[in-house]
Copies of this chain bind each other. A is one copy, B any other.
Amino acid sequence: MELISSNKSHGGTQGVYSHLSEATGTEMTFSVFVPPHEDGQVLPVLWYLSGLTCTHANVTEKGEYRAACAEHGIVFVAPDTSPRGADVPDADDEYDFGKGAGFYLDATKEPWSTHYRMRSYVEDELPALIARSFPVDMERQAITGHSMGGHGALTIGLRNPERFRSISAFSPIVAPIQSPWGEKAFSRYLGDDQSTWAQYDAVSLIEGGARPAALLVDQGTADDFLSEQLKTGLLALACRKAGIDAAIRMQEGYDHSYFFISTFMAEHVAWHARHLKG
């Protein structure tokens, strides 16, 4: 693991790191904020998965999470959204597929299957590295994310309920198999056999019996992607049918940007803190 940068912030340390990933076969970059803490103390971890076109940097610069993480004593980890590098196949001029658009799945179709293995990376490899390298208590983890990363947080969280005490999301793609972004990505990463898609679809996972320990979603009503891509209502419906007591909040006048995310970030961190420390 190589240190790219380290800056003192809000009493803690905002670091950016890179390492050679086995899962993706590429150099991967991620950021970790470690709040002020006592020597020897281990802290709960909040994972943040980013959206289309993003790297670790967007939330690290614009997310406004450090004050809340410092207050509540939570380590904040932000991975990249796809493999990167000259060897990694990409889709030219497509912001919603290829680099920056890994969709937190393990691709099974060539040429994507060699490097596009963000599920294994975020579910297995990076947690092991974080556990080895930072003062964390991996028994206390929570996950959140934005848009495509909200989809990642929901699906990874729902598939691993023993690992995550709470799941939240900002404007998530709740049912990618019913959205143009998801249909496009899944058909190319996973192929046309849609039976392999459901494991990457939050609504399908809930319909199949998955249950989150705790679930909070914020969605702006002025989000241009709401009706075609995000479809928050499908998650609300699935939760209602499944008897899941989720907080799914429509936030009046907010859009899809970090101006929205940063508004509710402190609330999400505090909500996760209650579950992580309870």
Interface residues on A, range: 20 to 34
Please tell me which one of the listed residues B7, B220, B253, B260 contacts residue A257 in the complex, with CB atoms under 8 A apart.
B7
Query: Contact: A255 with B8, CB < 8 Å?
Result: yes
Q: Which residue of chain B lies nearest to A261 when distances are taken between CB atoms in the complex?
A: B9
Assess whether A184 is interfacial by the CB under 8 Å rule. Answer: no
* Shortest beta-carbon distance from A118 to chain B in Å: 26
Which of A3-61 touch B at CB < 8 Å?
7-11, 14, 61
In the complex, identify which listed stretch (A62-70, A163-171, A269-277) lies at the interface while the others stay far away: A62-70
Query: Contact: B64 with A259, CB < 8 Å?
Result: no
Please report whether the interface of chain A is mostly helix, strand, loop or mixed according to DSSP: mixed
Assess whether A262 is interfacial by the CB under 8 Å rule. Answer: yes
Assess whether A258 is interfacial by the CB under 8 Å rule. Answer: yes
Other than the given A8-B220, A61-B61, A66-B263, 19 more pairs (CB < 8 A) read: A7-B255, A7-B259, A7-B260, A8-B222, A8-B255, A8-B259, A8-B263, A9-B254, A9-B259, A9-B260, A9-B263, A10-B262, A14-B259, A61-B62, A61-B258, A64-B262, A66-B259, A66-B262, A67-B266
